[in-house]
Amino acid sequence: LFLAVAAGRAQVQQEPWAETRENTGINITCHHPNIQTGEVIHWYRHLPGRGPAFLVLSMKSSRALTDLLGRLEVAADRRSSALWLTEPRLRDAAVYYCALRA
């Protein structure tokens, strides 16, 4: 199972790719060291042959994902976040983006 990750804006940094086996949990991390007070952390997923789809957003707290098993974890200082996929399946192979929006 191959999961590509990409930066949504210049203010965020992500590893270019990550991979795991089916049903083996994975953390996809995003660093946003210059996040501003009013900015919200957004995560999206771009499945092959489809447009990007919204997954989850948060200001500062961890949130469960609704479209797949997992959750968004946000660091206490908000300078990083991680999308934790608990049991990724082959159908979850996609490009995962994080972005900051006011």
Q: How many domains does the chain have?
A: 1
Q: Determine the pLDDT at residue 10.
A: 54
Question: What is the side-by-side order of every strand in the sheet holding 80-85?
Answer: 13-14, 26-31, 80-85, 70-74, 63-64
- Examine residue 8 and state whether it is found in any structural domain, yes or no: no
**The pLDDT of residue 32 is above 90:** yes
- Examine residue 94 and state whether it is found in any structural domain, yes or no: yes
Q: Determine the pLDDT at residue 3.
A: 52
- Examine residue 81 and state whether it is found in any structural domain, yes or no: yes
Q: For the domain that residue 86 is a member of, what is the CATH number?
A: 2.60.40.10
- Where on the phi/psi map is residue 86: left (φ > 0), alpha (ψ -120 to 50), or beta? alpha
Q: Determine the pLDDT at residue 2.
A: 53
- Examine residue 78 and state whether it is found in any structural domain, yes or no: yes
Range of the domain at 87: 13-101
Beta bridge partners of 19: 2
- Examine residue 62 and state whether it is found in any structural domain, yes or no: yes
Q: Which pTM was predicted?
A: 0.85
**The pLDDT of residue 9 is above 50:** no
Percent of the chain with pLDDT over 70: 90
**The pLDDT of residue 81 is above 70:** yes
- Examine residue 97 and state whether it is found in any structural domain, yes or no: yes
- Examine residue 77 and state whether it is found in any structural domain, yes or no: yes
